[in-house]
Amino acid sequence: MLNTSTTRFCLIRHGETDWNSEKRIQGQIDIDLNAAGRAQARAVAASLAGQAFAAIYSSDLLRALNTARLATVGLGLAVSPAPTLRERHFGVLQGTTSHEASRQYPEVHRHHQARTPDYDNLTGESLAAFAARVMAGLEAMAARHAGEHVLAFTHGGVLDVVHRVATGRSLEAPRDFTLPNAAFNWVERDDYGWQLISWADCGHLQQALDEVAG
């Protein structure tokens, strides 16, 4: 039983896409799931069976929204699209691999690698603006669902921001945690701020690997 002022979130990154497997920056380009991603979403559904949530939200990009649709079929709740859960717009780097970006846009790539907070990759969203957008959306959800459990489907960049806020890391610090596709990540918003409960739980995904391999 949660304190009436506490909201607990289960945050799930979308299932795999072909661009994930190619390590290509997707950003807000609307890439859908591949076969492995759909299998991951079904594995999430099996693991979520019997759990209760007050609401389900998803980024409105296809890879997240279709993960949500496949993963929540047995929960009896509609999926509410939430643009604040969208991935960051990576500007001119969208559609490139790291190698391509370093050759085509060396200065932009340098800022991207350095995690320069106020740099927008020429035509995109700065890391600082992105983080502010993400956390404002989650704060609104937390206030709306105080004392409840919320399920949300989103992207690696969003989870990166949430982990940093919940653990007190700066946006500029190198990442020392993982962001697996379709993993369970639990955080709480309580009277003291954001707290990390558990992260990158992939125990349910063996079923997805077996399904694709079979």
Q: Closest Cα to residue 55, out of 153, 135, 124?
A: 153
Residue 54, classified by CB atoms within 10 Å of its CB into exposed (0-12), middle (13-18) or buried (19+), is: middle
Tokens (6 digits) for 17: 């896409």
Enumerate residues 6+ apart whose C-beta is below 8 A from 26. Answer: 17, 19, 20, 63, 87, 94
Out of 16, 87, 148, 188, pick the active-site residue: 87
87 is known as an active-site residue:
yes
Q: Which amino acid, one-letter code, is at 196?
A: L
So which residues are the catalytic ones?
Answer: 14, 87
